């Protein structure tokens, strides 16, 4: 989908069509969630502070986000995809891979199918989308990006390397800023440069996994099938403060609220997490993340809280002002699916208490039972809970 959140908002604001606009809460501490292509052409990008976007483009239009709308349109679009093939791998709310090899006899060539999808999405939602067609997921993704906005690009299998090799090295999945710097220092600037380098040289520079991975991609080798399995990769909760915070007690109290939320979400999904992560964003927008993998998975909020507090202490932030803090649970496994621990017969009082709290919340509503420290008035903030 093209500039998905912005495109959805513009459906209800025809006066904004063709104008620079962003989706964001209109407040001094907000960041841009999505931007129209007119705004992007003027230098605005996602995750940019709204104040910076307004400095770049003083006349930019700010559209308040409506996430339920995005979920509605996402469901509609994914249903259209499933009408063409059951092999749909949804990557995010606005992106998916489709394997249409089994649909050719019914609907026509892959290019014809792609055009039919674009037409139906436009007719049924009013939204534009871009489609890339190729013999591998990696090249199809590049083709869809290359065709934006509202485009369609087909890369026949025999033309794959002619399309791929002239591209800059950061077109390869896994090449970020640091990896690109390493490759540039070795005189590698295009995908062709990577392809014609000895694989062992790439492994020496980047390590076994990354070097072999990039070498394979440079020759368009991507054997991954379209996967229809839908498994939450992570569950998280983030909190953006209305004013920067330096008080460690307040930060840890916020982490307690988030850890309890994440634990409840895990238990609701009958999952446990092997890895617990912490995210901290400072007033200068620098972000740090830390994580810890556990010997046994957990869904207990108090255990999650202890881990993220330890991670926060280890950061030694030294009074730096914090803008955002968040908790994430990853490495998710089915609850109760692990081998018994040596201490399995010892009841975890917090686990029992939290299960009881879940039952109370289910009957009387969320947050019916809260830690005593939360009984004071809590500052209004923007919260985001993110199953990933």
Place of tokens 């949804």: 90
Place of tokens 């994914």: 78
- 3-class state of residue 13 by DSSP: coil
157 is catalytic: no
State how far the Cα of 278 lies from the Cα of 255, in Å rounded to an integer. 9
State how far the Cα of 213 lies from the Cα of 222, in Å rounded to an integer. 9
State how far the Cα of 162 lies from the Cα of 312, in Å rounded to an integer. 48
State how far the Cα of 21 lies from the Cα of 6, in Å rounded to an integer. 8
Tokens of 241: 């403060």
* Cβ partners under 8 Å of residue 216, min gap 6: 222
What is the torsion angle, in degrees rounded to the nearest 10, for the CA atoms of residue 125, residue 32, residue 68 and residue 287?
130
Residue 213 CA, distance from chain mean position: 22
State how far the Cα of 92 lies from the Cα of 90, in Å rounded to an integer. 6
User: Per-residue DSSP letters for 132-173?
Assistant: EE-SSHHHHHHHHHHT-SS-EEE--GGGHHHHHTTSBGGGST
* Segment (H or E) for 25: none
State how far the Cα of 211 lies from the Cα of 330, in Å rounded to an integer. 26
State how far the Cα of 327 lies from the Cα of 309, in Å rounded to an integer. 10
State how far the Cα of 13 lies from the Cα of 69, in Å rounded to an integer. 14
Tokens of 84: 């063409």
Q: Is residue 119 exposed (0-12), middle (13-18) or buried (19+ Cβ within 10 Å)?
A: exposed
Q: Is residue 77 exposed (0-12), middle (13-18) or buried (19+ Cβ within 10 Å)?
A: buried
Catalytic pick from 38, 95, 199, 229? 95
- The set of catalytic residues is 95
């Amino acid at each position: 989908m093209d500039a998905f959140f912005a495109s959805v908002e513009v459906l209800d604001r025809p006066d904004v069509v063709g104008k620079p606009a962003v989706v964001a809460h209109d407040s001094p501490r907000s960041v841009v969630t999505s931007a129209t292509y007119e705004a992007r052409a003027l230098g605005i990008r996602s995750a940019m502070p709204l104040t910076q976007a307004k400095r770049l483009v003083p006349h930019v239009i700010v559209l308040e986000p409506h996430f339920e709308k995005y979920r509605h349109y996402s469901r509609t679009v994914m249903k259209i995809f499933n009408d063409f093939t059951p092999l749909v791998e949804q990557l995010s709310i606005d992106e998916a891979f489709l394997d249409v090899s089994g649909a050719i006899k019914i609907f026509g060539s892959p290019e014809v199918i792609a055009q039919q999808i674009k037409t139906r999405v436009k007719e049924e939602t009013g939204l534009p989308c871009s489609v890339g067609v190729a013999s591998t997921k990696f090249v199809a993704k590049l083709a869809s990006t290359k065709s934006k906005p509202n485009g369609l690009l087909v890369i026949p299998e025999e033309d794959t390397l002619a399309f791929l090799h002239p591209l800059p090295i950061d077109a390869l999945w896994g090449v970020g800023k640091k990896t690109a710097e390493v490759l540039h220092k070795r005189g590698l600037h295009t995908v062709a440069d990577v392809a014609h380098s000895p694989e062992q040289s790439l492994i020496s520079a980047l390590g076994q996994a990354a070097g072999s991975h990039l070498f394979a991609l440079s020759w368009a080798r991507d054997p991954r099938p379209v996967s229809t399995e839908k498994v939450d990769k992570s569950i998280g909760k983030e909190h953006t403060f209305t004013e920067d915070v330096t008080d460690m007690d307040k930060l840890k109290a916020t982490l307690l609220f988030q850890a309890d939320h994440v634990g409840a979400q895990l238990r609701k999904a009958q999952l446990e997490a092997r890895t617990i992560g912490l995210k901290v964003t400072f007033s200068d927008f620098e972000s740090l993340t830390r994580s810890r993998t556990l010997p046994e998975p957990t869904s207990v909020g108090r255990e999650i809280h202890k881990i993220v507090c330890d991670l926060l202490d280890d950061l030694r932030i030294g009074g730096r002002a914090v803008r955002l803090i968040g908790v994430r649970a990853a490495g998710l496994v089915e609850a109760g699916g692990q081998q018994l621990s040596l201490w399995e017969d010892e009841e975890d009082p917090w686990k029992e208490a939290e299960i009881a709290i879940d039952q109370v919340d289910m009957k009387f509503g969320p947050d019916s039972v809260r830690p005593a420290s939360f009984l004071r008035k809590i500052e209004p903030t923007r919260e985001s809970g993110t199953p990933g």
